[in-house]
Amino acid sequence: MAAAGAIWWYLADAPRHLNGPSGSTVVGLTLGSIAFGIMLFCAALSVKRKAPHWRVGRASTWLRGHIWLGLLTCVLVGLHAAFRLGGPAAILLWTLLGLVTISGLLGLLLQQFVPRLLLHSVPGETIAAQVNRRLSDLGALAEKIVIQYAGALDAAAPPWEGAAVAGGRPPAGGEPIRRFFLDHLRGYLAGAASPDLADPHRAENLFSALRTMTPPHAHAAIDELAGLYHLRRDLLRQRRLMRVLFLWLIIHVPLSWGLLILVIAHAVAALRFWT
In a domain, 16, yes or no: no
**Residue 160, Cβ neighbours under 10 Å: how many?**
18
Shared-domain flag, residues 252 and 234: no
Residue type, 56: V
Write down the pLDDT at residue 143: 92
In a domain, 259, yes or no: yes
Shared-domain flag, residues 7 and 115: yes
Write down the pLDDT at residue 9: 83
Residue type, 189: L
Domain that holds residue 40: 2-11+21-123+245-274
Write down the pLDDT at residue 51: 57
Shared-domain flag, residues 88 and 155: no
3-class SS of residue 157: coil
Write down the pLDDT at residue 85: 81
Write down the pLDDT at residue 13: 77
Find all residues with CB under 8 Å of 140, minimum gap 6, and list them.
Answer: none
Write down the pLDDT at residue 55: 61
Shared-domain flag, residues 119 and 142: no
Write down the pLDDT at residue 185: 93
Chunk the chain into consecutive blocks of 10 residues (it has 275) and report each block's average pLDDT, rounded to whole numbers: 83 75 79 87 71 60 78 87 82 90 86 63 58 87 88 56 47 79 91 86 93 90 93 87 85 90 85 65
Shared-domain flag, residues 191 and 266: no
Distance CA 184, CA 192 (A): 10
Shared-domain flag, residues 7 and 117: yes
Shared-domain flag, residues 119 and 251: yes
Shared-domain flag, residues 32 and 91: yes
Say how many domains are in the chain: 2
Distinct helix (H) and strand (E) counts, the chain: 10, 0
Give the closest residue to 264 by CA, choosing from 151, 106, 96: 96
Write down the pLDDT at residue 159: 47
In a domain, 100, yes or no: yes
Shared-domain flag, residues 6 and 104: yes
Write down the pLDDT at residue 154: 65
Write down the pLDDT at residue 253: 87
Write down the pLDDT at residue 158: 47
| DSSP output for 183-213 | IIIHHHHTT---HHHHSHHHHHHHHHHHHHT
In a domain, 156, yes or no: yes
Shared-domain flag, residues 38 and 83: yes
Distance CA 226, CA 26 (A): 69
In a domain, 263, yes or no: yes
Shared-domain flag, residues 32 and 100: yes
> Which pTM does this prediction carry?
0.66
Shared-domain flag, residues 48 and 95: yes
In a domain, 64, yes or no: yes
